[in-house]
Each structure stands twice: as C-alpha cells, then as structure tokens.
A and B are shown apart, each in its own frame.
Chain A
Amino acid sequence: MPKEKKARKIKSNLPNLAFDKPESVSIWIMGFANLIHRQFVKGILFLAVQVAYIWFMVTRGIGALNGLYTLGTQKQGWVTPEGSKIPILAEGDNSMLLMIYGVAVIVLTIIFAGAYYVNLNSARQMLALRLSGKKAPGFISDLKSLLDQKFHVTLMTPSIIGILLFTVLPLIFMILIAFTNYDKDHQPPGNLFRWVGLDNFAAILGANQLLADTFFPVLGWTLIWAVIATGTNYILGMLLAILINKKGIRFKAMWRTVFVITIALPQFITLLVMRNMFNDYGPINEFLVSAGIITNATRILFLNNVLLARITVLVVNLWIGIPYTMLISSGILMSIPNDMYEAARIDGASPFKLFVKITMPYMVFVTTPYLITQFIGNINNFNVIFLLTGGGPNTSTYYQAGKTDLLVTWLYKLTANVRDYNLASTIGIVVFVISAVVSLITYRNTVAYKREEEFS
C-alpha cells in the first residue's frame, strides 16, 4: 500500500506541460517531446500510433461509428440498376457486422486514449529530466525496464489483449444487443435490426404477457433452486465430512477418495449416465417394474413430471455437489482448535450442541466466500439442468422454456434454438445483476476480502 502512494506522489511531482515549453507540442503531435530528446524509437512509435489512428478514423472509423448508430439502412433485396431492366440481388447492410465494427472502433479509441495518456506522461517526464539537467534514457534501457520496474506491463499485456478480444469485446457486444430487436425475425444479412432502447426489458417485465409469464416463474425457480441446492449441499456435505473425520473412524483416505472420484469425472459423462438411469424406460424404472413394485402403467416419471423432475435435479445435484463440500470442509474441520471442544465438553455440552455452537459458526465463518461462489455457481448451474432434463418437462405456458429451466438454460435455448439473441442478452444482464447484487452485499464484508493486503 505505501508503495502505491509513493508512486502517485512521484507522478504528481512531474511539471505541467505549459505552452512555453517545447515538450508541450506533444499535446498535438504525439512523441514530439521524445524526438527532441533523441528518444527516436519511442518518439516514432508514438507518432506512428497517432498517424495510424487518424488515418484509420478518417478512412473507416467515422463510417463504422455511423454504422453503429444506424445499424444499417439498406435492406438486402432486388434492385434494378439504372439503364438496365434486369433486377439484381443487392447486398444490404449487415447490422451484425456494423455493430461489431462499431464496437471495435470504440475499443480501439479507448486503447488510443491510453496511448495518448502514456505519451503525455512521457512528455512530462522529458520536461522534468530537462529541467533537472539529466539526459533521457535510451531505447535499450527503456526495454530493459520492461523486465524490471515495468515488468507488470510486459506480463499483463498478453492477458489483457486476450481478455479484451475474447471476453470484453463479445460482452460489450452482447450487452448492446439487449437494446436492439435482434431476434429470429431480424436476422442479418437478410434483414436489418435496429435500436429499441429498453423495450426488451419492458417485454420480459410485463409488456409482453407470454414473456413475462415465462420470465417470472423461471426467475422464481432459479432462486428457489439456488437456495435449496446451495443449502442442502452445504449442510449435507459438511455432515458427511464430520462423519468421515470423526475420531475412531478408520480408512479416512479411502472414504474420501470414494466420493472424490465423482468430482473427477467430467460432468457431462456422469450427468448423461444419470439421465439415462432416471429415464422413463431407464434401469431404475425397469428394475422397479421387474421387482413388481410398480407396473408398466405406473412408471415413475422422474424427469417428465414437474414436481418430480424438480426434486430429481435437486437430488442429482446433491450427488454432484456433496463431494466438493465434503472435501473442503474436511480440511477446515481439521483446523478447528481442539481445545474449544474440550472446554465445551467439560461444561457438559452434548455432541449436537458442539456442532451448533462450535463447528457450525466456525465453518460458516471460514467458508462464506465459498458459500457465495456456490450460490452464484448454482444460479448459473447450466450442466445439471441442461444435461439431465434439458429444462423439461416442457409447457405451452412458457416461451421456449420448460419447468426446470433456469435463467441460464433458457438463455442458452433462446440463443441456440430460436435465435432470439436480444432476449438472451437481456436475460444475461438480469443474471449478472442478481449475481452482482448478491456478491456485493456479502463478499465485500467477508474476512477474506478485507484481509487481502495482509500478506504484503
């Protein structure tokens, strides 16, 4: 922390670029200060960035921004060129590409702004060096500093480029789509889509009856699912850990390993196997029929009856989730100081009381961050629902969703099956808001977050 403050202080000590100083030309011509101080490579790099950016903006950029604003005006269609009588298929504007280019230009502009800022700082440094009578460092020593004082720049650049290209850019793009009417009826290149403001949000909140009748029940089930799934996994997983770690129980490592195997197998394998087992004609039903407990007519519809399907996904989720909690709580249990238990036992506390008064509070204290991630993970628990029930049983009262669909699986279906990208994005934003609110309220108050600086 003190280091950070020191760095800021040095920066603010740099002189301002007053207009009577030659370095101030850098405000208009990037890299000028570097050039007059014989930092040729750096100066030329700055200049090149500026020239390239201006050239790009004039030739392509302005047009791209305009495209982002209009999202295209010319529909694809048949037009008859002048002087001819035969209509030809004219390629229309592609709203999708116009949007991508527009966003790319904005991202480029932000990067350019960053470069410009670096340029100004560099000019101020040059000025400071000149005023104190020192020589500007050469390009080689600049490069060397990239391995030392500026090592963070070197290391962060590849990551940031990756995140910008494959996470931020697509995300901005999808957020923008939530404010357009890019649905199955407005698919480029055949059709244009346009900005519609908050219409999509209004639609799922009530303006469109069918969508609202889908959104609220699905949201409700998502929250119920997340609470129950997180709670049951947490408590039962902890109980299992307590059983395994109890004094006098032997083969602890073996018991743990048995449960851990299920974590290690890819979920799509275990869940597809489960789907098969719970199928109407799957082994469980076949077994019950052949054992004479049920008849062919009364097969248990584990995945096709609304209530049963919901219970089944919750139970299967226990199978998936308990081992995780067990693994993590085992570690924590072993770290609870034993004398706490001794003292309580001398006071005559029952095992149940020990659990409620010592184990539970300690565990909750240590695992709050884990609990939050689990909760958010369950809101986004795509695999269990999608692979097990596929969101089914389907219902005609919902739009493109089934009774066990979570918001995220509905989002996936809207994207993959019907191409209502605008609705999918809107729901994505809703999921984000829920996760963000939950974590902000809880996460920032946890010990782990506050302790972040302790080691440094």
Chain B
Amino acid sequence: MAKINYNKEKTGRILGGSGPRDIQLRQRLLHQEVIKRDVEDTRPTMVIEDMPKMQKVDLSQYLPLKKVKQKIDEAVKFTVNKYEEILNDLKNQLKIKDSELDKVRSELLMKEELLKIKEDIYTNLQVKMDKIYNRISDGSIQSFVGKNRPELEDGIFIDPLEKSDNQSLDSHIDIREEKEASDRDMKGDLNKLRSLLKK
C-alpha cells in the first residue's frame, strides 16, 4: 500500500482529541458500556429454582453381589454348553459327508478302471475290424450267406440295333494317329505297374 506523506511541519502543538479516530474510540467505549449495562440488567432474572431432593434407595430388593456373579457364571456356562452341542452336531455331519465323499471317490476310481478296460476292448475291436475290412477289400474273405441261393439273372442286354441297321451306312471317316510328344516309355511304365500290382 502506498504511503501517504504527511508534509505538514510539526509545530509542537498538542492535539485536542477531536479527530475522527478519537470520535470512533469514544463511540466504541460507549457501546461497550451499553452492553455491560444490559448484561447487568439481566442478572436478577437468572435465579436457580429449587432442585428435587434425592430419595433414599432400598437395597434389600436386589440380589447380593455374590449371587449375581453366580447367576452370570451359570448363564455363561449354559450358553457355552449350547454352542458346544451345536459344534459337535456340525462335526458329526461333516464326518458323515466325508465318508460319503470317500464312497463317491472309490466309485469314481472303479468307474475309471472300467472305462480303461472298455477303451482297451474298443481299441482291440478297432484293430480287428480294420484287419477284417482289409481282408474283405483284398477278397480273402467272402460272404457265405446264401451262397447257394438262386439269384435273379436280371443283367440282360438286348442290342437295340437290327443287323441291317449298319448296312445302309457308307463311312468316309479317316482318323490320323497322334504320337505322344513326350515319348513316354510304356515298357518301363508297364514294368512299374506289374511290380506294384505284384503280377
């Protein structure tokens, strides 16, 4: 904040107490006095009314301290017993469940063993079926069912052409030969084929 210079020369004259700060101070003091008077005015009204007198307690109607302690001990014991019973019940149930679980486990093991046996049987059967299939494919196994049963010979072909059908035709067809450009070695190929077919 800028400082305001007081340029007036000091004359040594004493101030008369009539400045604004003096007036302000006087007003504040006046106000404090008013407050003080108001507080004092309220003092006579702050009178404490008569308090009710304390009645004398009759202790004969209460149990003695020893008895109370005994009763508390009994209640604690009762509660402890009750919860111990519940805990025992739960332990028994847990034992039953454990034995049931053991039973299920042993059944599961038994079933796993059975499954393994079945898988072995299935694998053996698969191998046997493959062997039989291969033997059927190569003709070494043939069906014997109904071997001598009479069969209907329905594979009959009748030529739809008459013998004279060709006679009226005069062919002018001349087809030229084509030799393969790659010069394929048929004799070599035939030998390969014979060895592959074991002929």
Q: Real complex partners, A and B? A: no
